[in-house]
Structure 1
Protein backbone atom coordinates (compact mmCIF):
# COMPACT_ATOMS: atom_id res chain seq x y z
CA UNK A 1 0.00 0.00 0.00
CA UNK A 2 1.15 3.55 -0.72
CA UNK A 3 2.75 5.19 2.32
CA UNK A 4 0.62 8.34 2.04
CA UNK A 5 -2.55 6.30 1.85
CA UNK A 6 -1.50 4.24 4.88
CA UNK A 7 -0.92 7.41 6.93
CA UNK A 8 -4.24 8.92 5.79
CA UNK A 9 -6.15 5.80 6.78
CA UNK A 10 -4.36 5.67 10.12
CA UNK A 11 -5.37 9.23 10.96
CA UNK A 12 -8.91 8.61 9.75
CA UNK A 13 -9.22 5.95 12.44
CA UNK A 14 -8.67 8.56 15.17
CA UNK A 15 -11.77 9.88 16.88
CA UNK A 16 -12.37 13.62 16.72
CA UNK A 17 -11.72 13.77 20.45
CA UNK A 18 -8.29 12.17 20.10
CA UNK A 19 -7.42 14.26 17.04
CA UNK A 20 -8.19 17.52 18.87
CA UNK A 21 -6.13 16.40 21.86
CA UNK A 22 -3.12 15.53 19.70
CA UNK A 23 -3.39 18.71 17.63
CA UNK A 24 -3.26 20.94 20.73
CA UNK A 25 -0.40 18.96 22.23
CA UNK A 26 1.64 19.09 19.02
CA UNK A 27 1.11 22.74 18.09
CA UNK A 28 0.48 24.50 21.41
CA UNK A 29 2.10 21.95 23.76
CA UNK A 30 -0.89 21.88 26.05
CA UNK A 31 -4.25 20.21 26.35
CA UNK A 32 -7.22 22.20 25.04
CA UNK A 33 -9.25 24.10 27.58
CA UNK A 34 -12.89 23.06 27.84
CA UNK A 35 -14.29 25.86 25.65
CA UNK A 36 -11.72 25.36 22.89
CA UNK A 37 -12.24 21.61 22.99
CA UNK A 38 -16.03 21.92 22.73
CA UNK A 39 -15.80 24.43 19.85
CA UNK A 40 -13.33 22.29 17.90
CA UNK A 41 -15.40 19.11 18.35
CA UNK A 42 -18.61 20.88 17.31
CA UNK A 43 -16.93 22.25 14.16
CA UNK A 44 -15.55 18.85 13.21
CA UNK A 45 -18.84 17.08 13.95
CA UNK A 46 -20.86 19.47 11.75
CA UNK A 47 -18.14 19.46 9.07
CA UNK A 48 -17.85 23.26 9.22
CA UNK A 49 -14.12 22.75 9.78
CA UNK A 50 -11.87 20.03 8.47
CA UNK A 51 -9.09 18.47 10.48
CA UNK A 52 -6.52 20.22 8.30
CA UNK A 53 -8.46 23.44 8.89
CA UNK A 54 -8.16 22.97 12.66
CA UNK A 55 -4.39 22.51 12.30
CA UNK A 56 -4.20 25.67 10.16
CA UNK A 57 -6.21 27.68 12.70
CA UNK A 58 -3.97 26.61 15.56
CA UNK A 59 -0.83 27.36 13.54
CA UNK A 60 -2.06 30.87 12.70
CA UNK A 61 -3.05 31.71 16.28
CA UNK A 62 -1.24 34.33 18.36
CA UNK A 63 -0.41 31.65 20.92
CA UNK A 64 1.43 29.58 18.31
CA UNK A 65 3.25 32.62 16.90
CA UNK A 66 4.58 33.42 20.37
CA UNK A 67 5.58 29.79 20.95
CA UNK A 68 7.37 29.80 17.59
CA UNK A 69 9.30 32.95 18.55
CA UNK A 70 10.35 31.43 21.88
CA UNK A 71 11.41 28.20 20.17
CA UNK A 72 13.41 30.25 17.67
CA UNK A 73 15.09 32.08 20.55
CA UNK A 74 16.17 28.83 22.23
CA UNK A 75 17.39 27.46 18.88
CA UNK A 76 19.35 30.67 18.28
CA UNK A 77 20.94 30.24 21.71
CA UNK A 78 21.91 26.64 20.95
CA UNK A 79 23.53 27.72 17.68
CA UNK A 80 25.50 30.41 19.54
CA UNK A 81 26.72 27.91 22.12
CA UNK A 82 27.86 25.54 19.38
CA UNK A 83 30.07 28.24 17.82
CA UNK A 84 30.92 29.98 21.13
CA UNK A 85 29.33 33.17 19.82
CA UNK A 86 27.94 35.92 22.04
CA UNK A 87 24.63 36.79 20.35
CA UNK A 88 24.10 40.43 19.35
CA UNK A 89 21.76 42.23 16.99
CA UNK A 90 18.81 39.93 17.66
CA UNK A 91 15.27 40.58 16.38
CA UNK A 92 11.74 39.54 17.34
CA UNK A 93 8.23 40.39 16.07
CA UNK A 94 6.82 43.72 17.27
CA UNK A 95 3.49 42.20 18.37
CA UNK A 96 5.22 39.92 20.89
CA UNK A 97 7.03 40.67 24.14
CA UNK A 98 10.81 40.68 24.61
CA UNK A 99 11.11 37.14 25.98
CA UNK A 100 12.54 35.57 22.79
CA UNK A 101 15.30 38.20 22.75
CA UNK A 102 16.14 37.56 26.40
CA UNK A 103 16.29 33.78 25.92
CA UNK A 104 18.61 33.91 22.93
CA UNK A 105 20.88 36.57 24.46
CA UNK A 106 21.39 34.92 27.85
CA UNK A 107 21.17 31.18 27.11
CA UNK A 108 23.41 31.69 24.08
CA UNK A 109 26.22 32.72 26.45
CA UNK A 110 26.15 29.55 28.52
CA UNK A 111 29.43 27.62 28.16
CA UNK A 112 28.74 24.28 29.89
CA UNK A 113 29.66 25.58 33.34
CA UNK A 114 29.01 22.98 36.06
CA UNK A 115 27.01 24.83 38.73
CA UNK A 116 24.09 26.90 37.41
CA UNK A 117 21.46 28.92 39.28
CA UNK A 118 18.22 30.10 37.65
CA UNK A 119 16.62 32.92 39.62
CA UNK A 120 12.83 33.28 39.33
CA UNK A 121 12.29 29.91 37.68
CA UNK A 122 8.79 29.18 39.09
CA UNK A 123 6.90 31.33 36.57
CA UNK A 124 9.40 31.04 33.72
CA UNK A 125 8.28 29.99 30.26
CA UNK A 126 8.24 26.20 29.82
CA UNK A 127 10.29 26.71 26.65
CA UNK A 128 12.98 28.47 28.73
CA UNK A 129 13.06 25.77 31.40
CA UNK A 130 13.20 22.99 28.83
CA UNK A 131 15.98 24.78 26.96
CA UNK A 132 17.97 25.30 30.15
CA UNK A 133 17.63 21.66 31.20
CA UNK A 134 18.56 20.57 27.65
CA UNK A 135 21.83 22.54 27.94
CA UNK A 136 22.83 19.83 30.49
CA UNK A 137 24.37 21.72 33.40
CA UNK A 138 25.80 19.19 35.80
CA UNK A 139 24.17 20.92 38.79
CA UNK A 140 21.08 23.03 38.00
CA UNK A 141 19.33 24.87 40.84
CA UNK A 142 16.23 27.06 40.70
CA UNK A 143 15.26 29.58 43.37
CA UNK A 144 11.99 31.47 43.75
CA UNK A 145 9.49 32.68 46.33
CA UNK A 146 7.14 29.79 45.47
CA UNK A 147 7.76 26.16 44.55
CA UNK A 148 7.37 24.46 41.17
CA UNK A 149 8.46 21.00 40.15
CA UNK A 150 10.92 21.00 37.25
CA UNK A 151 12.50 17.64 36.31
CA UNK A 152 16.27 17.97 36.11
CA UNK A 153 16.37 20.96 38.47
CA UNK A 154 16.87 21.13 42.22
CA UNK A 155 14.41 23.77 43.45
CA UNK A 156 14.67 26.00 46.51
CA UNK A 157 12.14 28.43 48.00
CA UNK A 158 13.93 31.58 49.13
CA UNK A 159 14.04 35.35 48.88
CA UNK A 160 16.59 36.68 46.42
CA UNK A 161 17.73 39.17 49.06
CA UNK A 162 18.72 36.32 51.42
CA UNK A 163 19.87 33.36 49.40
CA UNK A 164 20.51 30.13 51.37
CA UNK A 165 23.75 29.36 49.51
CA UNK A 166 27.36 29.73 50.50
CA UNK A 167 29.72 32.28 48.98
CA UNK A 168 30.82 31.49 45.41
CA UNK A 169 28.41 28.56 45.03
CA UNK A 170 27.60 29.00 41.32
CA UNK A 171 29.57 29.39 38.12
CA UNK A 172 26.68 30.96 36.19
CA UNK A 173 23.56 32.73 37.43
CA UNK A 174 20.60 33.38 35.12
CA UNK A 175 18.34 36.24 36.19
CA UNK A 176 15.88 36.82 33.35
CA UNK A 177 13.20 39.47 33.96
CA UNK A 178 13.29 38.83 37.70
CA UNK A 179 15.39 41.51 39.41
CA UNK A 180 12.74 44.17 38.78
CA UNK A 181 10.22 42.21 40.87
CA UNK A 182 12.32 42.03 44.03
CA UNK A 183 10.67 44.03 46.78
CA UNK A 184 7.65 44.85 44.59
CA UNK A 185 4.00 43.76 44.42
CA UNK A 186 4.23 40.02 43.73
CA UNK A 187 0.67 39.02 44.68
CA UNK A 188 0.00 37.82 41.12
CA UNK A 189 2.80 35.30 41.66
CA UNK A 190 1.33 33.98 44.90
CA UNK A 191 3.60 36.03 47.15
CA UNK A 192 3.21 39.13 49.30
CA UNK A 193 2.90 42.74 48.21
CA UNK A 194 5.61 45.04 49.48
CA UNK A 195 7.45 48.22 48.60
CA UNK A 196 11.18 47.87 49.14
CA UNK A 197 13.10 50.32 46.96
CA UNK A 198 16.37 48.71 48.06
CA UNK A 199 15.22 45.27 46.88
CA UNK A 200 17.08 45.14 43.54
CA UNK A 201 20.26 46.51 45.14
CA UNK A 202 20.19 43.92 47.93
CA UNK A 203 19.46 41.17 45.42
CA UNK A 204 22.41 42.18 43.25
CA UNK A 205 24.71 41.99 46.27
CA UNK A 206 23.48 38.45 46.92
CA UNK A 207 23.94 37.44 43.29
CA UNK A 208 27.49 38.75 43.39
CA UNK A 209 28.14 36.89 46.65
CA UNK A 210 26.99 33.47 45.39
CA UNK A 211 28.78 33.75 42.02
CA UNK A 212 32.31 32.37 41.77
CA UNK A 213 35.25 34.68 41.26
CA UNK A 214 35.47 33.80 37.56
CA UNK A 215 31.73 33.32 37.18
CA UNK A 216 29.07 35.27 35.37
CA UNK A 217 25.60 36.70 35.95
CA UNK A 218 23.46 36.68 32.78
CA UNK A 219 20.69 39.17 33.43
CA UNK A 220 17.85 41.07 31.74
CA UNK A 221 15.84 43.98 33.14
CA UNK A 222 13.25 46.44 31.73
CA UNK A 223 14.85 49.76 30.83
CA UNK A 224 12.11 51.68 29.02
CA UNK A 225 10.24 54.81 29.93
CA UNK A 226 8.43 54.94 33.27
CA UNK A 227 4.63 55.23 33.16
CA UNK A 228 4.03 55.46 36.90
CA UNK A 229 1.69 52.47 37.23
CA UNK A 230 4.07 49.55 37.03
CA UNK A 231 3.81 46.72 39.55
CA UNK A 232 7.54 46.18 39.16
CA UNK A 233 10.66 48.34 39.24
CA UNK A 234 11.59 50.06 36.00
CA UNK A 235 14.90 51.92 35.76
CA UNK A 236 16.68 53.47 32.84
CA UNK A 237 19.70 51.60 31.49
CA UNK A 238 21.96 54.19 33.13
CA UNK A 239 20.25 53.67 36.49
CA UNK A 240 20.76 49.91 36.22
CA UNK A 241 24.42 50.46 35.34
CA UNK A 242 24.79 52.66 38.42
CA UNK A 243 23.33 49.85 40.55
CA UNK A 244 25.76 47.35 39.04
CA UNK A 245 28.62 49.69 39.83
CA UNK A 246 27.39 50.33 43.38
CA UNK A 247 27.20 46.60 44.10
CA UNK A 248 30.73 45.96 42.75
CA UNK A 249 29.58 44.18 39.60
CA UNK A 250 31.43 44.64 36.32
CA UNK A 251 29.51 44.99 33.05
CA UNK A 252 31.47 42.75 30.67
CA UNK A 253 28.95 42.92 27.82
CA UNK A 254 25.57 44.55 27.35
CA UNK A 255 22.98 45.43 24.74
CA UNK A 256 19.72 47.33 24.95
CA UNK A 257 16.73 46.39 22.80
CA UNK A 258 13.63 48.41 21.94
CA UNK A 259 10.23 47.57 20.50
CA UNK A 260 9.88 49.50 17.23
CA UNK A 261 7.31 49.46 14.45
CA UNK A 262 9.55 46.98 12.64
CA UNK A 263 9.93 44.69 15.64
CA UNK A 264 12.31 44.30 18.56
CA UNK A 265 15.76 45.57 17.57
CA UNK A 266 19.01 46.55 19.22
CA UNK A 267 18.95 50.23 20.15
CA UNK A 268 16.99 52.74 22.20
CA UNK A 269 14.49 53.93 19.60
CA UNK A 270 11.34 52.95 21.47
CA UNK A 271 9.52 53.55 24.75
CA UNK A 272 9.50 49.85 25.66
CA UNK A 273 13.04 48.55 26.13
CA UNK A 274 15.01 45.77 27.80
CA UNK A 275 18.64 45.72 28.91
CA UNK A 276 20.55 42.45 28.48
CA UNK A 277 23.84 42.23 30.37
CA UNK A 278 26.67 39.82 31.07
CA UNK A 279 27.96 40.74 34.51
CA UNK A 280 31.09 39.63 36.35
CA UNK A 281 31.51 39.93 40.13
CA UNK A 282 34.30 42.21 41.34
CA UNK A 283 34.08 45.44 39.36
CA UNK A 284 37.10 47.00 41.07
CA UNK A 285 39.24 43.96 40.31
CA UNK A 286 38.19 43.89 36.66
CA UNK A 287 38.80 47.60 36.18
CA UNK A 288 42.26 47.30 37.77
CA UNK A 289 43.13 44.43 35.42
CA UNK A 290 41.99 46.49 32.42
CA UNK A 291 44.30 49.32 33.49
CA UNK A 292 47.25 46.98 34.05
CA UNK A 293 46.98 45.11 30.74
CA UNK A 294 47.94 48.12 28.55
CA UNK A 295 50.82 48.81 30.95
CA UNK A 296 52.09 45.22 30.60
CA UNK A 297 51.89 45.50 26.80
CA UNK A 298 53.87 48.75 26.93
CA UNK A 299 56.55 47.24 29.17
CA UNK A 300 56.79 44.20 26.88
CA UNK A 301 57.25 46.46 23.87
CA UNK A 302 59.99 48.43 25.62
CA UNK A 303 61.76 45.17 26.52
CA UNK A 304 61.59 43.91 22.90
CA UNK A 305 62.86 47.23 21.54
CA UNK A 306 65.79 47.32 23.95
CA UNK A 307 66.86 43.67 23.72
CA UNK A 308 65.82 42.72 20.20
CA UNK A 309 65.91 45.86 18.05
CA UNK A 310 65.93 43.88 14.78
CA UNK A 311 62.76 42.01 15.73
CA UNK A 312 61.08 45.22 16.83
CA UNK A 313 61.95 46.93 13.56
CA UNK A 314 60.67 43.99 11.52
CA UNK A 315 57.33 43.96 13.37
CA UNK A 316 56.99 47.72 12.98
CA UNK A 317 57.51 47.48 9.20
CA UNK A 318 54.94 44.69 9.03
CA UNK A 319 52.41 46.81 10.93
CA UNK A 320 52.32 44.35 13.83
CA UNK A 321 52.36 45.16 17.55
CA UNK A 322 55.56 44.41 19.42
Structure 2
Protein backbone atom coordinates (compact mmCIF):
# COMPACT_ATOMS: atom_id res chain seq x y z
CA UNK A 1 0.00 0.00 0.00
CA UNK A 2 1.23 3.51 -0.78
CA UNK A 3 2.31 5.61 2.22
CA UNK A 4 -0.41 8.22 1.79
CA UNK A 5 -2.95 5.45 1.39
CA UNK A 6 -1.79 3.84 4.62
CA UNK A 7 -2.06 7.12 6.53
CA UNK A 8 -5.57 7.68 5.19
CA UNK A 9 -6.57 4.12 6.11
CA UNK A 10 -5.41 4.69 9.69
CA UNK A 11 -7.51 7.87 9.82
CA UNK A 12 -10.49 5.92 8.47
CA UNK A 13 -10.13 3.32 11.22
CA UNK A 14 -9.86 6.02 13.88
CA UNK A 15 -12.98 7.74 12.55
CA UNK A 16 -14.90 4.46 12.56
CA UNK A 17 -13.87 3.85 16.18
CA UNK A 18 -15.25 7.31 17.01
CA UNK A 19 -18.68 6.52 15.50
CA UNK A 20 -20.36 5.78 18.88
CA UNK A 21 -19.14 9.14 20.20
CA UNK A 22 -20.47 10.84 17.08
CA UNK A 23 -23.89 9.30 17.76
CA UNK A 24 -23.87 10.21 21.45
CA UNK A 25 -22.96 13.81 20.64
CA UNK A 26 -25.96 14.26 18.37
CA UNK A 27 -24.48 13.26 15.00
CA UNK A 28 -23.06 16.66 14.22
CA UNK A 29 -21.57 17.06 10.72
CA UNK A 30 -17.77 17.15 10.47
CA UNK A 31 -17.23 15.82 14.00
CA UNK A 32 -15.29 12.60 14.67
CA UNK A 33 -17.26 9.70 13.22
CA UNK A 34 -18.97 11.84 10.58
CA UNK A 35 -16.82 10.57 7.70
CA UNK A 36 -17.78 6.97 8.50
CA UNK A 37 -21.48 7.85 8.66
CA UNK A 38 -21.27 9.87 5.43
CA UNK A 39 -19.39 7.18 3.52
CA UNK A 40 -21.83 4.47 4.61
CA UNK A 41 -24.84 6.63 3.66
CA UNK A 42 -23.40 7.37 0.22
CA UNK A 43 -22.54 3.74 -0.49
CA UNK A 44 -26.03 2.60 0.48
CA UNK A 45 -27.66 5.35 -1.59
CA UNK A 46 -25.63 4.41 -4.68
CA UNK A 47 -26.11 0.66 -4.32
CA UNK A 48 -29.87 0.94 -3.73
CA UNK A 49 -30.34 3.50 -6.54
CA UNK A 50 -32.00 5.85 -4.06
CA UNK A 51 -31.95 8.84 -6.43
CA UNK A 52 -33.90 8.24 -9.62
CA UNK A 53 -35.79 10.67 -11.88
CA UNK A 54 -39.34 11.40 -10.83
CA UNK A 55 -39.17 9.31 -7.66
CA UNK A 56 -39.24 10.73 -4.14
CA UNK A 57 -36.21 10.11 -1.97
CA UNK A 58 -36.58 7.64 0.91
CA UNK A 59 -37.99 9.01 4.16
CA UNK A 60 -35.41 10.66 6.44
CA UNK A 61 -32.84 10.41 3.66
CA UNK A 62 -29.40 11.72 4.56
CA UNK A 63 -30.25 13.49 7.81
CA UNK A 64 -27.12 15.25 9.01
CA UNK A 65 -25.15 14.38 5.86
CA UNK A 66 -23.95 16.94 3.33
CA UNK A 67 -25.05 17.11 -0.30
CA UNK A 68 -22.73 14.35 -1.53
CA UNK A 69 -25.33 11.87 -0.29
CA UNK A 70 -27.58 13.09 -3.12
CA UNK A 71 -24.98 14.06 -5.72
CA UNK A 72 -23.15 10.74 -5.97
CA UNK A 73 -26.23 8.51 -6.35
CA UNK A 74 -27.70 11.05 -8.81
CA UNK A 75 -24.51 10.79 -10.86
CA UNK A 76 -24.37 6.98 -10.77
CA UNK A 77 -28.00 6.78 -11.88
CA UNK A 78 -27.10 8.86 -14.93
CA UNK A 79 -23.97 6.83 -15.69
CA UNK A 80 -25.65 3.45 -15.34
CA UNK A 81 -28.63 4.00 -17.61
CA UNK A 82 -29.21 1.51 -20.42
CA UNK A 83 -27.53 2.50 -23.65
CA UNK A 84 -25.30 5.16 -22.11
CA UNK A 85 -21.79 5.19 -23.57
CA UNK A 86 -19.30 6.79 -21.20
CA UNK A 87 -16.38 6.95 -23.62
CA UNK A 88 -13.55 9.23 -22.61
CA UNK A 89 -14.40 10.81 -19.25
CA UNK A 90 -13.21 13.88 -17.37
CA UNK A 91 -13.74 14.47 -13.65
CA UNK A 92 -13.45 18.25 -13.47
CA UNK A 93 -12.80 18.86 -9.80
CA UNK A 94 -11.49 15.53 -8.51
CA UNK A 95 -14.71 14.86 -6.58
CA UNK A 96 -14.61 11.24 -7.73
CA UNK A 97 -11.13 10.73 -6.26
CA UNK A 98 -12.20 8.32 -3.52
CA UNK A 99 -11.57 4.59 -3.58
CA UNK A 100 -15.14 3.72 -2.64
CA UNK A 101 -16.40 5.87 -5.54
CA UNK A 102 -13.88 4.87 -8.21
CA UNK A 103 -14.27 1.20 -7.31
CA UNK A 104 -17.96 1.13 -8.21
CA UNK A 105 -19.37 0.24 -11.62
CA UNK A 106 -19.06 1.85 -14.13
CA UNK A 107 -16.18 4.03 -12.89
CA UNK A 108 -14.05 1.02 -11.96
CA UNK A 109 -13.24 0.37 -15.62
CA UNK A 110 -13.69 3.86 -17.02
CA UNK A 111 -11.30 5.74 -19.29
CA UNK A 112 -11.16 8.53 -16.73
CA UNK A 113 -9.00 11.62 -16.40
CA UNK A 114 -9.17 13.48 -13.09
CA UNK A 115 -8.38 17.19 -13.20
CA UNK A 116 -7.95 19.58 -10.28
CA UNK A 117 -5.86 22.61 -9.33
CA UNK A 118 -3.07 20.84 -7.46
CA UNK A 119 -1.98 17.29 -6.54
CA UNK A 120 -3.91 15.58 -3.77
CA UNK A 121 -2.44 13.31 -1.13
CA UNK A 122 -4.46 10.34 -2.34
CA UNK A 123 -4.16 9.43 -6.01
CA UNK A 124 -5.06 6.18 -7.76
CA UNK A 125 -2.85 6.44 -10.83
CA UNK A 126 -1.66 2.88 -10.17
CA UNK A 127 -5.23 1.74 -10.93
CA UNK A 128 -5.06 3.27 -14.40
CA UNK A 129 -6.59 6.71 -13.85
CA UNK A 130 -4.91 9.78 -15.30
CA UNK A 131 -4.35 12.99 -13.31
CA UNK A 132 -3.99 16.50 -14.75
CA UNK A 133 -3.49 19.67 -12.72
CA UNK A 134 -4.60 23.09 -13.85
CA UNK A 135 -7.43 25.57 -14.32
CA UNK A 136 -10.67 24.38 -15.96
CA UNK A 137 -11.07 27.75 -17.63
CA UNK A 138 -8.11 27.14 -19.91
CA UNK A 139 -7.08 23.55 -20.41
CA UNK A 140 -4.63 21.98 -22.85
CA UNK A 141 -7.08 19.33 -24.02
CA UNK A 142 -7.94 19.14 -27.71
CA UNK A 143 -11.35 20.10 -29.06
CA UNK A 144 -13.83 17.27 -28.45
CA UNK A 145 -11.38 15.34 -26.25
CA UNK A 146 -14.09 13.87 -23.97
CA UNK A 147 -17.44 12.16 -24.32
CA UNK A 148 -18.49 12.69 -20.71
CA UNK A 149 -17.58 15.53 -18.35
CA UNK A 150 -18.45 15.32 -14.64
CA UNK A 151 -18.21 18.31 -12.31
CA UNK A 152 -19.69 17.64 -8.87
CA UNK A 153 -19.88 20.64 -6.51
CA UNK A 154 -16.87 22.31 -8.11
CA UNK A 155 -18.04 25.25 -10.24
CA UNK A 156 -19.07 27.17 -7.11
CA UNK A 157 -15.33 27.47 -6.29
CA UNK A 158 -14.07 28.54 -9.72
CA UNK A 159 -12.90 32.16 -9.70
CA UNK A 160 -13.02 32.49 -5.91
CA UNK A 161 -10.41 32.00 -3.15
CA UNK A 162 -9.04 28.49 -3.65
CA UNK A 163 -6.04 28.96 -1.36
CA UNK A 164 -8.00 27.93 1.71
CA UNK A 165 -8.30 24.25 0.79
CA UNK A 166 -7.08 23.44 -2.69
CA UNK A 167 -3.77 25.14 -3.47
CA UNK A 168 -1.06 27.36 -2.00
CA UNK A 169 -0.79 29.39 -5.20
CA UNK A 170 -1.66 33.01 -4.26
CA UNK A 171 -2.78 33.63 -7.86
CA UNK A 172 -5.76 31.38 -7.11
CA UNK A 173 -7.15 33.76 -4.49
CA UNK A 174 -9.71 35.48 -6.70
CA UNK A 175 -13.00 37.34 -6.35
CA UNK A 176 -14.54 36.61 -9.76
CA UNK A 177 -18.07 35.31 -9.11
CA UNK A 178 -18.50 34.66 -12.85
CA UNK A 179 -15.44 32.42 -13.19
CA UNK A 180 -17.73 29.45 -13.79
CA UNK A 181 -18.81 30.96 -17.14
CA UNK A 182 -15.36 30.50 -18.69
CA UNK A 183 -15.23 26.97 -17.26
CA UNK A 184 -18.53 26.08 -18.94
CA UNK A 185 -17.34 27.49 -22.26
CA UNK A 186 -14.20 25.40 -21.96
CA UNK A 187 -16.28 22.31 -21.16
CA UNK A 188 -18.22 22.89 -24.36
CA UNK A 189 -15.00 23.14 -26.36
CA UNK A 190 -13.46 19.94 -25.03
CA UNK A 191 -16.57 17.77 -25.15
CA UNK A 192 -17.41 15.87 -28.32
CA UNK A 193 -20.66 16.52 -30.20
CA UNK A 194 -23.44 14.58 -28.51
CA UNK A 195 -21.38 14.29 -25.31
CA UNK A 196 -22.84 14.73 -21.82
CA UNK A 197 -21.88 17.16 -19.08
CA UNK A 198 -23.10 16.24 -15.58
CA UNK A 199 -22.94 19.08 -13.09
CA UNK A 200 -24.09 19.84 -9.55
CA UNK A 201 -23.86 23.14 -7.64
CA UNK A 202 -25.24 24.44 -4.33
CA UNK A 203 -28.40 26.47 -4.92
CA UNK A 204 -30.61 29.05 -3.25
CA UNK A 205 -30.51 32.74 -2.39
CA UNK A 206 -27.21 34.05 -3.71
CA UNK A 207 -24.46 34.17 -1.12
CA UNK A 208 -20.69 34.32 -1.35
CA UNK A 209 -18.56 32.60 1.30
CA UNK A 210 -15.30 33.69 -0.39
CA UNK A 211 -14.24 30.11 -1.18
CA UNK A 212 -17.61 29.01 -2.57
CA UNK A 213 -20.88 30.61 -3.57
CA UNK A 214 -24.54 29.67 -3.81
CA UNK A 215 -25.99 29.74 -7.32
CA UNK A 216 -29.35 31.42 -7.84
CA UNK A 217 -31.83 31.18 -10.74
CA UNK A 218 -30.01 33.74 -12.88
CA UNK A 219 -26.63 32.05 -12.41
CA UNK A 220 -28.03 28.63 -13.33
CA UNK A 221 -29.39 30.10 -16.55
CA UNK A 222 -26.05 31.78 -17.24
CA UNK A 223 -24.31 28.43 -16.69
CA UNK A 224 -26.62 26.69 -19.15
CA UNK A 225 -26.33 29.46 -21.73
CA UNK A 226 -22.52 29.36 -21.55
CA UNK A 227 -22.54 25.67 -22.50
CA UNK A 228 -25.29 26.18 -25.12
CA UNK A 229 -26.59 22.59 -24.94
CA UNK A 230 -28.78 20.94 -27.56
CA UNK A 231 -30.88 19.77 -24.59
CA UNK A 232 -30.67 19.63 -20.81
CA UNK A 233 -32.40 18.30 -17.67
CA UNK A 234 -32.48 20.22 -14.40
CA UNK A 235 -33.40 18.81 -10.98
CA UNK A 236 -33.43 20.31 -7.49
CA UNK A 237 -33.09 18.81 -4.04
CA UNK A 238 -33.67 20.45 -0.66
CA UNK A 239 -32.44 19.74 2.86
CA UNK A 240 -34.08 20.38 6.24
CA UNK A 241 -34.05 18.67 9.63
CA UNK A 242 -36.05 15.77 8.15
CA UNK A 243 -33.41 15.03 5.53
CA UNK A 244 -33.08 15.49 1.78
CA UNK A 245 -36.06 15.56 -0.59
CA UNK A 246 -36.89 16.45 -4.16
CA UNK A 247 -37.96 20.05 -4.68
CA UNK A 248 -39.04 22.50 -7.32
CA UNK A 249 -36.86 25.46 -8.24
CA UNK A 250 -39.35 27.78 -6.53
CA UNK A 251 -39.19 25.68 -3.33
CA UNK A 252 -35.46 26.29 -2.94
CA UNK A 253 -35.22 29.88 -4.18
CA UNK A 254 -34.33 31.13 -0.69
CA UNK A 255 -32.26 28.16 0.48
CA UNK A 256 -29.12 28.90 2.49
CA UNK A 257 -25.89 27.09 3.34
CA UNK A 258 -23.66 26.33 6.30
CA UNK A 259 -19.94 27.00 5.96
CA UNK A 260 -18.24 24.26 8.01
CA UNK A 261 -14.98 26.22 8.13
CA UNK A 262 -16.26 29.53 9.48
CA UNK A 263 -19.48 28.33 11.14
CA UNK A 264 -21.48 30.91 9.21
CA UNK A 265 -25.04 29.81 8.42
CA UNK A 266 -25.25 27.24 11.21
CA UNK A 267 -28.81 26.25 12.22
CA UNK A 268 -30.23 23.43 14.34
CA UNK A 269 -30.94 21.21 11.29
CA UNK A 270 -27.50 19.53 11.15
CA UNK A 271 -26.93 20.64 7.55
CA UNK A 272 -23.48 19.60 6.32
CA UNK A 273 -23.18 22.52 3.90
CA UNK A 274 -25.73 23.37 1.18
CA UNK A 275 -29.44 23.24 1.98
CA UNK A 276 -30.31 22.88 -1.68
CA UNK A 277 -28.55 21.70 -4.81
CA UNK A 278 -29.15 21.87 -8.56
CA UNK A 279 -28.26 18.81 -10.63
CA UNK A 280 -27.91 19.40 -14.37
CA UNK A 281 -27.33 17.10 -17.34
CA UNK A 282 -26.38 18.97 -20.52
CA UNK A 283 -26.07 17.41 -23.97
CA UNK A 284 -23.62 19.01 -26.41
What's the TM-score once normalised by structure 1's chain length?
Answer: 0.63
1:234 correspondence with 2:207: no
State the match for 1:216 in structure 2: 196
Q: Which has the bigger relative contact order, CA under 8 A and spacing at least 6?
A: 2
Find the aligned partners of 1:234 and 1:56 in 2 and give their Cα distance.
31
Say if 1:59 and 1:65, in contact at 8 Å, map to a contact too: no
Q: Flag the 1:32–1:226 CA change in 2: closer, same or farther, 3 A.
A: same
| One of 158, 175, 187 as aligned partner of 1:195 | 175
State the match for 1:99 in structure 2: 68
Residue 96 (structure 1) shift = 0.9
1:252 correspondence with 2:232: yes
Residue 135 (structure 1) shift = 4.1
Say if 2:234 and 2:279, in contact at 8 Å, map to a contact too: yes
State the match for 1:167 in structure 2: 143
State the match for 1:300 in structure 2: none
- 1:53-132 matches, within 5 Å, as 57=20, 61-77=33-49, 88-90=55-57, 92-110=61-79, 111-121=84-94, 124-131=97-104
State the match for 2:154 in structure 1: 178
Say if 1:86 and 1:109, in contact at 8 Å, map to a contact too: no
Aligned CA-pair RMSD = 3.2
Query: Any idea what the Cα deviations from partners look like across 1:254-305, whole Å, max 9, x if unmatched?
Result: 2111112211111135532100011112xxxxxxxxxxxxxxxxxxxxxxxx
Find the aligned partners of 1:133 and 1:158 in 2 and give their Cα distance.
26
Residue 115 (structure 1) shift = 0.8
Say if 2:95 and 2:152, in contact at 8 Å, map to a contact too: no
User: How many aligned positions are there?
Assistant: 232
Instruction: Select the structure of larger CA radius of gyration.
Output: 1
Q: Flag the 1:162–1:249 CA change in 2: closer, same or farther, 3 A.
A: same
1:153 correspondence with 2:153: no
State the match for 1:274 in structure 2: 277
Find the aligned partners of 1:64 and 1:117 in 2 and give their Cα distance.
27
Say if 1:74 and 1:131, in contact at 8 Å, map to a contact too: no
Find the aligned partners of 1:211 and 1:243 in 2 and give their Cα distance.
16
For structure 2, the residue ranges without an aligned partner over 5 or more in a row are 1-5, 24-32, 257-274
State the match for 2:115 in structure 1: 143
Q: Flag the 1:197–1:63 CA change in 2: closer, same or farther, 3 A.
A: closer
Q: Flag the 1:157–1:197 CA change in 2: closer, same or farther, 3 A.
A: same
Say if 1:70 and 1:127, in contact at 8 Å, map to a contact too: no
What's the TM-score once normalised by structure 2's chain length?
Answer: 0.70
Residue 164 (structure 1) shift = 1.2
Say if 1:133 and 1:152, in contact at 8 Å, map to a contact too: no
Q: Flag the 1:68–1:195 CA change in 2: closer, same or farther, 3 A.
A: same
Residue 31 (structure 1) shift = 1.1
